[in-house]
Amino acid sequence: MSSRGRTRVGKYELGRTLGEGTFAKVKFARNVENGEAVAIKILDKEKIFKHKMIAQIKREISTMKLIRHPNVVRLYEVMASKTKIYIVLEFVTGGELFDKIARKGRLKEDEARKYFQQLINAVDYCHSRGVFHRDLKPENLLLDDNGVLKVTDFGLSALPQQVREDGLLHTTCGTPNYVAPEVINDKGYDGAKADLWSCGVILFVLMAGYLPFEDSNLMSLYKKIFKAEYTCPPWFSSNAKKLIKKILDPNPLTRITIAELIENEWFKKGYQPPSFQQEEINLDDVDAIFNESGESGNLVVERREERPVIMNAFELISTSQGLNLSNLFEKQMGLVKRETRFTSKRPANEILSKIEEAATPLGFDVKKNNYKMKLHGAKTGRKGHLCIATEVFEVAPSLYMVELRKAGGDTLEFHKFYKNISTGLEDIVWNSEEEEAKKTNSGTYMVTIT
């Protein structure tokens, strides 16, 4: 990895942005001491304090430090500067389980069972440590390069301190399609039973390729969930149907438990209990990163050089699912998810200017920051304002990779924006001679990574 165009934080060099949300951004990074690739979640202290998010962020960090399991993304260390908090995490290369379903459709029952077994192993362990995830869905399930499932995103998890005197949790959260009926009901719920319901929905999605509960009207969706109103497709085996019915029981008191699930005939087929060493974990350092009066010697400092980030071969491959380079340059016009990339031989400044020229007439406010740019939609869409983050990476002398990533708003609206802007960028998108010959009647395309 070249240090040019890098931000250095402690012993880590930061690379491309992997994802971002309201309070955090996740970046690819490399440990310069041992060359290890990691993901670093960067939190803005000012935003955390302003929005009174201290308790939630502390909870997320504490949760991930408590969990040491082969099916859970590992937290290596936590650092802080004067303005930011850096959470160093295991870098998982295989992408989201959701993307596997989006690309290939439903999984065969044996493959779905394998992932479901790993999911239950992780969730069971979390529960044994008093941790409830509360937002389990395929998007929060990652795969490593060996196809091993890893649970991530504990931003909505709950530690035992949040359980009230009645022994129940009382915070409504999670993604509607995956949420248990008792969570929506807002009368208190058992975090373990609610997580298991979400696991049942995930199992259904893995084997069916679609959700058991879906409706464009939120109240209609809730009614279906309350009644457990769903239909299994004909290709489900009878034992799978029976198990899903026991998990998607709208009454948490009669819903199957994880202990009972592990003894289920369908679940036990080919089951391998996890094997790993238990570790004692200390949380004493968590408070220190929020301590404004902390010793300055304990703080890390960001150092930055302003020029396009140079992306080496390893990182270029890592942008593709499962380290498969063919996916990076595969034409997939119909499969735009949350981000899209294209290559160009034009200078970086010219690329950004062209994108600005194409986006402005579509009603987007443009903010530039060196070789990055944010496009903010003026109109309020289905999920708020569409926001698109753009960054230019140098992958070879005079060859750049341009990434457009949805940072906020609706994915379908991002898809529409992508189609509209493509025409205005035709003269800067670079294709090989072979690709040029193939696109005679199809027009210019951008490479899509899901």
Report the distance separating Cα 102 and Cα 104, nearest Å: 6
The continuous run of DSSP H or E covering 392 comes out as: strand 384-396
How many alpha carbons fall within 13 Å on the CB side of residue 70? 13
Report the distance separating Cα 191 and Cα 154, nearest Å: 13
Amino acid at 106: R
Q: Could you please report the per-residue DSSP string of 211-274?
A: -SS--SSHHHHHHHHHHT-----TTS-HHHHHHHHHHS-S-TTTSPPHHHHHT-HHHHTT----
Q: Answer yes or no: is 41 a known binding residue.
A: yes
**Cα three-residue angle 329-331-337, rounded to 5 degrees:** 95
| Cβ-Cβ contacts under 8 Å for 270 (sequence gap 6 or more) | 110, 113, 114, 117
Q: Which of 99, 135, 144, 249 is catalytic?
A: 135
DSSP conformation class of 162: G
| Cβ-Cβ contacts under 8 Å for 182 (sequence gap 6 or more) | 188, 189, 190, 193, 194, 252
Report the distance separating Cα 7 and Cα 4, nearest Å: 9
Both tokens assigned to 436: 């040029």
Report the distance separating Cα 223 and Cα 442, nearest Å: 45
Task: Check if 215 is active-site.
Answer: no
Report the distance separating Cα 200 and Cα 30, nearest Å: 37
Report the distance separating Cα 238 and Cα 372, nearest Å: 53
Cα 242 to Cα 195, 247, 249: the distances in Å are 19, 9, 11
Q: How far is CA 263 from the centre of its chain?
A: 31
The continuous run of DSSP H or E covering 358 comes out as: helix 348-359
Q: From edge to edge, which strands make up the β-sheet containing 84-90?
A: 75-80, 84-90, 37-44, 24-31, 12-20, 7-9, 302-304
Known binding residues for ATP? 41
Known binding residues? 41
- Residues labelled catalytic: 135
